[in-house]
Amino acid sequence: MATIKEFEDLEIWKLSRILCNDIFKLASNSELSSDYKLFNQLNGSTGSIMDNIAEGYERNGNKEFIQYLSIAKASCGETRSQLYRVLDRNYCSEVEFEHIKNQTLVISKKIAAFITYLKRSDFKGSKFNQEL
């Protein structure tokens, strides 16, 4: 496993950032940008994925990190649900929908795997290191 020094090093954060950009591009190229409430909800839920990963990482403790990762995972589900409204309102094609839906599924699975890894890890976080 690669050494993680900052939350920006985490693959799940990088993938979440790509998802956010893809949602913004979708809105910019469709009428979704005019559906302010739906766009704001979608933009917020995708942003919540990457933001909760970052905030949890910065807490410096595995228990808190796991809690924030769980929230990020839930935001993946929220985003996926909102995507169905985007599709149903014809703001995207079936191909665009499937691509973005698959991104949320991949991120969700990777977050779940990372949570499992953290739960099994003996390392509890840097804030628990004892200085002599």
- Residue 69's CB is within 10 A of a number of other CB atoms, namely 23
Q: Angle, nearest 10°, between helix axes 11-28 and 36-58?
A: 170
SS3 content of the chain, % helix, strand, coil (to 5): 80, 0, 20
Could you give the domains of the chain? Answer: 7-121 (1.20.1440.60)
Radius of gyration of the chain (CA): 16
Q: What is the mean pLDDT of residues 98-119?
A: 97
Q: Residues 17-42, buried b or exposed e (16+ Cβ, 10 A)?
A: bebbeebbebbeebebeebeebbebb
pLDDT, one tens digit per residue, over 43-66 is 999 999 999 999 999 998 889 999
50 contacts: CB under 8 Å, gap ≥ 6: 13, 16, 17, 19, 20, 72
Give, as one character, the DSSP assignment of residue 126: G
* Span of 15-24, 52-61, 83-92, 115-124 with lowest mean pLDDT: 115-124
Single out the residue of 49, 48, 47, 31 nearest to residue 85, CA to CA: 31
pLDDT on residue 11 = 97
Task: Tell me the pLDDT band of 79, cut-offs 50, 70 and 90.
Answer: very high
